[in-house]
Structure 1
Amino acid sequence: MADLTKVKAIAFDLDGTLIDSVPDLAAATQATLAELGLARCSEAQVRNWVGNGARMLMKRALQNANRLANASTESTLTKSTLTESVSANEVTEAELDEAMPVFMVHYQQHLQKHSLLYDGVVETLTALKASGYPLAIVTNKPYHFTLPLLKAFEIETLFGLVLGGDSLAKMKPDPMPLNHILNEWQLEPEQLLMVGDSKNDIFAAKAAGVSSIGLTYGYNYGEDIGLSGPTAVCEQFNQILALLSSVKTKG
C-alpha cells in the first residue's frame, strides 16, 4: 500500500463523506414507493442502503417492500411454496427499469432540501487546495445530481475533476474511476489518496493501489470502516488536514 508522505492529489467520495444526503434520498425513496403503491421505508433503512448508486438503492427499497408484502402470508405457506415466496422478494430488471425514472423525478424535487455539509468540510477542503493538492470527486451518485449538490453548497470550484457513478463504464468499488484520475493527472498510484466513508471507497483504493482514509461517521452498512483496512481512519473530516500535515513534516 502506498505511503501518505507521497500523496500529491486527493479524491473524495460525496455522500456520507462531504454531505449527509440521506434525508433527501430517503424522502425521494419514500415518495417513489408511495407512487408505486408499495410499502414505505424509514430514513434509517435508507442510511444502510446507500453507497452503491441510485439503482442499487432502489433495488434494496423494492426488495424490502416485497418482503413486507410477503411477510403476512409466509406463516401459512407450505415448505414447497416457501421457496417461491422467498424468490418473490427479488426484484427484476424490468421492475427496476420502471421504478428508476420515478425515483429520479422525486430525487430531483428533493435534491438539497435537507442535505447538510459535515462539520469542517469547507475549511478543510479550502486548506488542502491552498496547500497545493488537486482535489477530485469520485461518487457513485449520478453525475447530473452530483454537480448541482456541489454548486448548492458552493464548493464546486474546489474540485478539478468530478466523476459521478455514470461518468465511466464502472463505478466504485471498481478501480476504474481512480485509475481514470491517475491517467488524467499523470500520477503514480502512491501519489493519489482516496477519502471516503464506505468499504466501496476502500476497496476501490486497494484495487487501484492508492492510499485511503476511512471516515467513521458516514454510511457503511453498519460496519466498522476500519475492518476494510484503509491506510488511516479519521473520526472527523478536519483530522485529514492534520494527518497529512503530520506525515508531510515527517516525510
Structure 2
Amino acid sequence: MAFSTVTAIAFDLDGTLIDSVPDLAAATNALLVELGFDTCSEDDVRSWVGNGAKKLVERALTAKATQVTDEQYLLQVMPRFMQHYQYNLQQHSRLYSGVGEVLAELKQAGFRLAVVTNKPYQFTVPLLKAFALDALFDVVLGGDSLQKMKPDPMPLNHLLDHWQLSTEALLMVGDSKNDIFAAKSAGISVIGLTYGYNYGEDISLSGPNAVCEQFSEILAHVSHRPNEME
C-alpha cells in the first residue's frame, strides 16, 4: 500500500525505534528488590510495556507484590521507579536495525517527523539524544505532554492541528495496538511493525493499513517526496 498523500509521519518510540525493554526491566527489578519482592524477567516486561510508566509498575506489582496494590501505594512508589529508570535509561537499550538511516532519508526527502510515545517526556528526549535522533524530529510528545495518551487519539489530533494537516497527510508508525487504535480514532493511516511490543499479539489483528517486518520497509510505502505534491 502506498501512502501517496502523506507529508508527515508520527513514530512511536519503544518497540518501534528503540528496544528499551532491557533498561526498563533493570529499573523494574531495582524497584521490586527495593520493595522486597521477587524480580521479573525481561520477557515479563516486554508483555507489560506500552501504556506508560505507571501502568508498567502497576503490572509489575500486581504480578509480584504479596499484597493488593492500590492507587495510593502506586503513587508512592512511582518516584522511586522514575529514579531507577533515570539511572538505567541508556545502559542497555539499542536502536533497531535501519532506524537512523531511514529517519535521515525521510527527513532529507522533506517529511515532517514526530515522536508520539507513552513514555514520560523527561525520559524521551534524553533517549533520543543518546542515539543522535533528536535533531530529526520537529515535534516530540511524551505520554505526559498532553492530558491523554495513546490509544486516545489526542496526541495525533494535536499534530494535525499543530501542523494544520488533513487526516490524509499524517501517517502513524508503531508496534502496538495502542498505536493502531489511536490512528484509527484520529482518522489517519497507520503502519504496524511486527518486531516490537504488542502484548504477544499479532499486530495485523488490530487492522493497520500496512504491516512491516523491518523498519526499512516503511520507505517502500512513502516513496514520494512531500514537495512533489506542492
TM range (shorter): over 0.9
Decide which of 151, 160, 163 is 1:185's aligned counterpart: 163
Asked whether 1:97 is paired with 2:75, we answer: yes
Question: Structure 1: where are the runs of 5+ without partners?
Answer: 70-87
Return the offset for 1:122: 0.5
CA distance in 1, matches of 2:139, 2:193: 21
Decide which of 176, 194, 201 is 2:172's aligned counterpart: 194
Q: Secondary structure at the match of 1:5?
A: coil
Aligned to 1:78: none
Return the offset for 1:245: 1.2
For these two proteins, the number of residue pairs brought into alignment is 227
CA distance in 1, matches of 2:221, 2:170: 15
Return the offset for 1:39: 1.7
Return the offset for 1:246: 7.5
Asked whether 1:231 is paired with 2:209, we answer: yes
CA contact (8 A) 1:12 1:195 kept: yes
CA distance in 1, matches of 2:224, 2:109: 13
CA distance in 2, matches of 1:91, 1:230: 35
Return the offset for 1:4: 1.6
Return the offset for 1:5: 1.5
Over residues 101-120 of structure 1, what are the superposed CA-to-partner deviations in whole Å (9 max), with x where a residue is unaligned?
11000000001100000000
CA contact (8 A) 1:19 1:116 kept: yes
CA contact (8 A) 1:3 1:211 kept: no
CA contact (8 A) 2:50 2:197 kept: yes
Decide which of 161, 177, 181 is 2:139's aligned counterpart: 161
Aligned to 1:215: 193
Alignment of 1:1-251 (within 5 A): 4-66=3-65, 69=66, 90-245=68-223
CA distance in 1, matches of 2:30, 2:109: 43
Over residues 28-58 of structure 1, what are the superposed CA-to-partner deviations in whole Å (9 max), with x where a residue is unaligned?
0000000011121111100100000000000
Return the offset for 1:247: 11
* Aligned alpha-carbon RMSD (Å): 1.7
Over residues 103-157 of structure 1, what are the superposed CA-to-partner deviations in whole Å (9 max), with x where a residue is unaligned?
0000000011000000000010000111110000000000000000000000100
Letter in 1 for 2:75: D
Q: TM-score w.r.t. structure 2 length? A: 0.95
Over residues 180-202 of structure 1, what are the superposed CA-to-partner deviations in whole Å (9 max), with x where a residue is unaligned?
00000000111100000000000
Q: Secondary structure at the match of 2:38?
A: coil
Return the offset for 1:98: 1.4
Return the offset for 1:243: 2.0
Runs of 4+ in structure 1 displaced over 6 angstroms?
Answer: none
Question: Structure 2: where are the runs of 5+ without partners?
Answer: none
Identity of aligned residues (%): 66
Letter in 1 for 2:182: A
The structure having more radius of gyration, on CA atoms, is 1
